[in-house]
Amino acid sequence: MSFWRALLRGTGLTRSVEVEPAEATLPTPEERAEERSSQVPEQVAASAVRVPAAPVPALPKGSGPSSAPPVPTAGMRAAALERTLQSLVERLGTEHPDTITARNNLATKYAQMGRRQAAVQQFELALGEAVAIYGEEHPRSEIIRENLAWAFEDAGRPADAAGQWEILLGQRENQFGAADEDTVEARARLAVCYRRSGRVDAAVAHYERAIEDVAHTERREELRLGLSAAQSMVGRYEEAAAQLRMVLAGRRRRLGRGHLETLTVHHRLGRSYTQAGRADEAVDVLREAYRAALTSSGDPEVRRLILRLRRDLAGAYNAAGRHREAKALL
């Protein structure tokens, strides 16, 4: 960890440290469900924005000796943060460090409550104020910019999020190098946002570079899944299947053939062959995945996957002209 990052622990601002996997879902609802069952969702959770909240004022005591103080709701906490921010604005002005931190904290609470647009607005104001005081590359500005990028993703604005990740990627690459963990994560998020906003070729390029630079095996697998999804979006099914085969081999070694995460990738590989028009290979892969899933059917998630595997295997049988076998499954 760099010196300035260590210092951030005492500033009242922290960066989001939990980054969602970069593997994208294929553009079908079934595949979105499959990925949600095995990985952290690619949709940005509001809780990913991690900034310590300002202290909440003490709650009034109950009137009776046995009454317990009410549990503060999210709305009560947000109201307390709003009051804190308003007080700081009035006393210190909008560009004071304490005011910037309070605005960032309020935006975080809005994000946690699902008030996405309000969160974006407050993060944008906080970022503008931080940049005016500290400059573009100061740690505080970087923290708030990353939070804003996550908030844009959560609000369904991937193109706007991409603009923030582009800046963060450039800053981190210049300061720490391409292989730094934070640089790789910024590149991965940029690839996700490019894909979601239709810039698939750019997404593919960044996925490929992130795969080269990432240090951890499991993270590399997640990036390969994202790359395969982007390749499938532009009809590059052979290349997508190649990425899935590598992930499948790694998960079989690490988790076993019957693990849900292994089976999910196995299913996706079979679907990629179906999309590529390789019906016979799709039959072989989906049948193997189906049989492996049946041996692990005690897991409720695996049981749900079995239904999808059966449906897709029947479709592959039909595509291969093997209608009797397809009918037997349905």
Q: Distance between CA 316 and CA 267 in Å, rounded?
A: 12
Gyration radius from the chain CA atoms: 24
Count Cβ neighbours within 10 Å for each residue of 8-39 and write b for 16 or more, e otherwise.
Answer: beeebbbbbeebbbbbbbbeeebbbebbebbb
User: pLDDT tens for residues 77-107?
Assistant: 999 999 999 999 999 999 999 999 999 999 9
Of 185, 207, 212, give the one whose Cα is nearest residue 195. 207
Alpha carbon distances (Å) from 129 to 38, 96, 259, 307: 40, 8, 48, 53
At residue 277, the pLDDT reads 93
- Listed residue (282, 314, 3, 290) closest to 139, CA to CA: 3
Residue pLDDT tens, the chain, 330 long: 443 344 444 445 645 433 343 343 333 434 433 333 333 333 333 333 444 344 434 434 444 455 566 788 988 999 999 999 999 999 999 999 999 999 999 999 999 999 999 999 999 999 999 999 999 999 999 999 999 999 999 999 999 999 999 999 999 999 999 999 999 999 999 999 999 999 999 999 999 999 999 999 999 999 999 999 999 999 999 999 999 999 999 999 999 999 999 999 999 999 999 999 999 999 999 999 999 999 987 889 999 999 999 999 999 999 999 999 999 998
CB of 308 within 8 A of CB of 293? no
Max Cα distance, the chain (Å): 78
Detail the DSSP E strand segments found in the chain.
none
Specify the pTM. Answer: 0.77
69, 60 contact by CB (below 8 A): yes
In three-state secondary structure terms, 147 is helix
For 118-177, how does the pLDDT look when each residue is reduced to its tens digit (9 = 90+)?
Answer: 999 999 999 999 999 999 999 999 999 999 999 999 999 999 999 999 999 999 999 999
Q: Helices 139-154 and 158-176 meet at what angle, rounded to 10?
A: 150
**pLDDT score, position 67:** 59
Task: Give how far the C-alpha of residue 171 lies from the chain's centroid of Cα atoms, to the nearest Å.
Answer: 21
The pLDDT value given to residue 135: 95
Helix (H) or strand (E) holding 93: none
What pLDDT score was predicted for residue 43?
34
Listed residue (319, 312, 255, 318) closest to 289, CA to CA: 312
- How far apart CA 248 and CA 257 sit, in angstroms, is 9
- CA dist., res. 287 & res. 291, Å (int): 6
Placement of tokens 């069952």 in the chain:
37
Q: Which fold has domain 235-330?
A: 1.25.40
Structure tokens at 265: 């990738």
